[in-house]
Amino acid sequence: MALRFPGAGTAEQYWRDIAAGVSHVRRFSRAELRAAGASEDLLDDPDLVGASALLDGVDGFDAAFFGMTGREAEVTDPQQRLLLECCEHALVDGGYAGSDARIGVYGSVGYRLYSLHSYLANNLADVPGDDWIAQKQVQVGNYPDFAANRAAFRLGLRGPAVNVATACSSALVSVHLACQALLAGDADLMLVGSAALHLPQITGHRHVKGSTISRSGAVRAFDADADGTVGGNGVAAVLLKPLARALADGDTVHAVVLGSAVTNDGDGKGGFAAPSVAGQRDAVLGALARSGVPADSVGYLEAHGTGTYKGDPIEFAALTEAFRAHTDGTAFCALGSTKPAIGHLDSAAGLAGLIKAILVLRHGVIPPLVNFTRANPLLALETSPFVIPTHATPWPNAGVRRAGVHSIGMGGTNAHVIV
């Protein structure tokens, strides 16, 4: 595994903050926003919410190590640069850097904000019309479809290289597809990597009434005071391999993917961007069925949990319906979400949740849900299978610990993974 999240450059640092209930989502001062280029009119806008979770060092990159020129690196979307670095670090962590094994990569990147802010204005306009090499570098460096192929090229990977784009569920959908590729024998190992950067980072957002974006500048998943989500920045990668071969080869196994499923809401919802109970429920049921484990054996569930007042209850209802198909038990599964702690990582959100769930399993501690005080009254929490922890709690190892990870993409693509 490898990651770079707000406040954490390693899994150990990430777990430190998770266990302590630390949030890296913060409000920017007027001076910070002004220094970042905000106009006085914008600063005076009462709907401006200057909040986010920042990632350090997004402008750093070892171009020479990856065989790129300085100019090529400069015009390449930082999301692709960070994804490339993180995939290399995951290979190193797994002991497969430079390996001749058949390794594939499924990757995803977020919105192309770097290109929107600087690519047309500062790069293409300065490139001579007859300099086709420079033109191509600018175009390739900012086209999201090349993210996985860039990693395959620069890291010498000869398995399938596919870019996945299902909005906020991209990373977890990639995990599902990577497992399918391994089961089909398309590769010996599969990398899954995702990066999301909201550039420039010190900006925030304009709140619009009825939107999913927070006015308060804080994410309060499943809380009565939830008022929306806040963007974050991060990158992560995991290396997957069939369990029997990993054990035979003496690899370090952080966790086992027992099963996964992907669904779409279809037309069974109020609008294109709206979530659906049925679509999400079916993803959970599919993952449980493929895992061959009952819902009441899952003691932790890392939810999508964006902190929207209406969206959270829809997700909660879907999770409850899926679990109710297996058990009538109550309060046996702890619920969590990364977004109150590190913001919404867009395409990379699923990997942030998966790695968190893996760390929960490893350490045997249920962490607190950051910013949670009292449950959204629409949840019916008391009669549900779930409990929302407000402080770190030991998770005794009574056999095998299991966790679920849930992810929702705007447009309707849902993913669920059991580990």
d(CA 326, CA 305): 23
Catalytic hit among 89, 344, 406, 416: 344
Closest CA to 405 of 394, 418, 392, 393: 418
Q: Which amino acid is at 27?
A: R
d(CA 228, CA 40): 26
Enter the tokens of residue 23: 């949030």
Catalytic site includes residue 304: yes
What does the DSSP 8-state code read for residue 231?
Answer: B
- Could you write out the DSSP letters of every residue in 85-108? HHHHHHHHHHT-TT--S-EEEEEE
Catalytic hit among 89, 304, 406, 416: 304
String of b and e for 77-93 (b: at least 16 CB within 10 Å)?
bbbbbbbbbbbbbbbeb
CA angle (103 as vertex; 188, 353 as ends), nearest 5: 95
Is residue 244 packed enough to be buried (19+ CB in 10 Å), middle (13-18) or exposed (0-12)? exposed
Listed in order, strand segments (DSSP E) in 142-188 are 161-163
Listed in order, strand segments (DSSP E) in 40-102 are 48-49, 51-53
- Bridge partners of residue 190, in order along the sequence: 104, 240
The whole-angstrom distance between residue 133's C-alpha and the CA centroid of its chain comes to 34
Question: Token pair 């692709």 is at which residue?
Answer: 80
- Report whether 134 contacts 78 (CB < 8 A): no
Catalytic site includes residue 344: yes
- Annotated catalytic sites, by residue? 168, 304, 344
